A and B are shown apart, each in its own frame.
Chain A
Amino acid sequence: MTRLDYKAIIEYYFKIKTKEGNIVSFILNEDQNMYLDMLYKDYPSMQGVRENDLKSRQVGWSSLIDAIGMVDFIWSELGKTPLMDGDIVSHKDKETKTLFNRANLFLNSYLEIEGIERKVFLTEDTTDHIKGKRGSELWVQTASARVSGRGGTKQFIHWSEVAFYSNTEIINAEDLVTGAERQVGDGIGKIFRESTGNVTDDFFFAEYENGKKGIGEFKSRFFPWWMHKSYTRLAPEEWVAPDYYAKVRAENDVKLNQCYWHFTKTKELEDEKMMREYPTYDVEAFLLGGKPYFNKQALLYYTNHTQQPIKEFLNVSSL
């Protein structure tokens, strides 16, 4: 199957609302380009995409993922790819509305450039659902027992902030997510679970850990705060970066001003919730169920002294 050039399509057709409220062309930022390259590398045909993405707050992942979903929707309506039925699911109503508005903006900006009327392109157009003339559909919903169902077939699901879905006796994230995902056939379509971390008790934590160990079909990726270069603040001249930043600075191109941004954002590394929102290491992205047993300074020392193995092997004969 030939792959769509998502970057070219998105940047040519789609518009997006900036943090300042301006409507501009959706030009992928450095992080989004990097992520798209990762996807192309691991899924050359962009089919069978299965992603657990643990990220920092506000890095633009969900915009890119929904833009990919909208490209699939439009191109399937143009008859260039098979029909698609997709879901975008958020953790709360307000966010769901935001996601739907953004998806609509993508669609409208495409239709505007091509000079197509929305009512000509769509047969159904409600506040949470669009359906094209050929039959492709896209739903935007809040995570609840009513989401998605189990019986149909889907080709695209974006679970936004999946770590924050309700866990009650009636419905829990695991049942909701895994139940709906059974509608996406093996080796086809795209499933993105994208979230900041929450707690070590939840479904997303377990799935993220499994993905890291290669258990199951989902790939787990971690995107720390420092990858987002706009997270920076001019550090006072006398400010010295604490040891906490030693390893990450030694191993990556992390500037002093970036560290200072993180240092102030996390209230001098003391605000656990902000450390979770902007994690340096993936273990920080999930709040613990109690106080750490080992001394924090000692753990920092050990973190700064971890090494890459010189060899990995399963059998002595391979040495």
Chain B
Amino acid sequence: MFRLYRELERGEFVLVGVDCSQGGADSNFGSFLSANKLDFPISYEQQGVAANATEDLFPILEWIFDITGIKPVVAFERNNGGASEMERLSKLNRNNKFEIFIMPKIGTTDDNQETRLMGWNTSSSTRPILVGDWKDAIDCKVIKLYDAEVVKQHKAFIVSKTGKPQASGKSHDDAVISPAIAWQLYQRVPIRKIEQPFHQVPYQASDDVIGI
């Protein structure tokens, strides 16, 4: 189910973070961040597995492009089937109406900063950045959250006895991780604007003397 909190506008650049479900009671969760307004006008939450998320999200990504005129950028977390679904989503993108986020190298001095991995790769080196940057954004109230489920899961996100930030007990963290991924995209993807058609300006001499 998608929850729409406000209408999208032409010229908005949307970044989409998705936490894929492992099935059962778990849900796929997607957070749509507007880079222009720093809010989340759309949330997506649906039971199922990662493959279901692709089927649900593909038409929405095209719809966003049709409204905003700017290709949204999307990243599934690569766990729980997200990696293969990123590839599938990439192949579905025949109309070239959205972009897939390519995971950068993090924690290296390598000249080539791209891993060539599609989507967000959570690892022991990237997770602290993911949740740490997101904590800064939340604590400083930089962004706007409208979705009650998102806020609820943030309340149940704790520092465990071992010091790890995680969901408490049997509560879920997919509504924490997905906006955190969208926030990483916001920081790592250059802002896109609607491409203006090129209009040739006719030559006008500033004076009668050309050259020296």
A residues apposed to B, CB below 8 Å: 199-202, 205-206, 209-210, 213, 215, 281-284, 286, 288-295, 298-299, 301-303, 305-307, 309-317, 319
Asked if residues B171 and A292 are in contact (CB atoms below 8 Å), the reply is no
Asked if residues B60 and A316 are in contact (CB atoms below 8 Å), the reply is yes
Residues of A within 8 A of B46 (CB): 314
A290 with B159: in contact, given A199-B169, A200-B170, A307-B146 (CB under 8 Å)? yes
The answer to whether the Cβ of B199 comes within 8 Å of any Cβ in the partner chain is no
Asked if residues B151 and A299 are in contact (CB atoms below 8 Å), the reply is yes
Give A314 to B52 CA distance when docked, in angstroms. Answer: 12
Asked if residues A205 and B5 are in contact (CB atoms below 8 Å), the reply is no
**Chain B, interface residues (CB within 8 Å), range:** 35 or more
Asked if residues A310 and B158 are in contact (CB atoms below 8 Å), the reply is no
Tell me which of A215, A291, A298 has the highest count of chain B C-beta atoms within 10 A of its own C-beta: A298
Partner-binding segment picked from B90-98, B108-116, B137-145: B137-145
The answer to whether the Cβ of B168 comes within 8 Å of any Cβ in the partner chain is yes
Instruction: Tell me if B's interface is mostly helix, strand, loop or mixed.
Output: mixed
Q: List 30 A-B contacts (CB under 8 A).
A: A199-B169, A200-B170, A201-B169, A201-B170, A202-B169, A206-B25, A209-B25, A283-B155, A283-B156, A288-B156, A288-B168, A290-B161, A292-B159, A293-B131, A293-B157, A294-B135, A294-B139, A294-B155, A295-B138, A298-B138, A299-B138, A299-B155, A302-B138, A305-B145, A306-B148, A309-B4, A310-B5, A310-B7, A311-B4, A312-B2
Instruction: Please tell me which one of the listed residues B141, B157, B172 contacts residue A301 in the complex, with CB atoms under 8 A apart.
Output: B141
Residues of B within 8 A of A302 (CB): 138, 141, 145, 151, 154
Give A292 to B62 CA distance when docked, in angstroms. Answer: 37
Residues of A within 8 A of B6 (CB): 310
Residue of B nearest to A289 (CB): B168
The answer to whether the Cβ of B37 comes within 8 Å of any Cβ in the partner chain is no
Asked if residues A295 and B139 are in contact (CB atoms below 8 Å), the reply is yes
Asked if residues A306 and B169 are in contact (CB atoms below 8 Å), the reply is no
Residue of B nearest to A214 (CB): B47
Q: Provide the B164-181 mask, 1 if CB < 8 A to any CB of A, else 0.
A: 010011111000000000
Instruction: Please tell me which one of the listed residues B47, B63, B169 contacts residue A215 in the complex, with CB atoms under 8 A apart.
Output: B47
Asked if residues B169 and A205 are in contact (CB atoms below 8 Å), the reply is yes
CB-CB nearest 4 A-B residue pairs: A200-B169, A201-B169, A290-B158, A309-B3
Asked if residues A298 and B158 are in contact (CB atoms below 8 Å), the reply is no
B residues apposed to A, CB below 8 Å: 1-7, 25, 27, 43, 46-47, 56, 59-60, 62-63, 131, 135, 138-141, 144-148, 151-152, 154-161, 165, 168-172
Residues of B within 8 A of A286 (CB): 156, 169, 171
Give A1 to B43 CA distance when docked, in angstroms. Answer: 42
Asked if residues A292 and B155 are in contact (CB atoms below 8 Å), the reply is yes
Min CB distance A178 to B, Å, is: 14
A288 with B170: in contact, given A213-B25, A309-B5 (CB under 8 Å)? no
Min CB distance A250 to B, Å, is: 14
Instruction: Please tell me which one of the listed residues B47, B158, B171 contacts residue A213 in the complex, with CB atoms under 8 A apart.
Output: B47
Asked if residues B160 and A215 are in contact (CB atoms below 8 Å), the reply is no
Residue of B nearest to A208 (CB): B170
Residues of B within 8 A of A205 (CB): 169-171
Given A298-B141, A314-B1, 16 further pairs, Cβ under 8 A: A200-B156, A201-B168, A205-B170, A213-B27, A283-B156, A286-B169, A289-B161, A294-B135, A298-B140, A302-B151, A303-B155, A306-B151, A307-B5, A309-B5, A310-B6, A311-B3
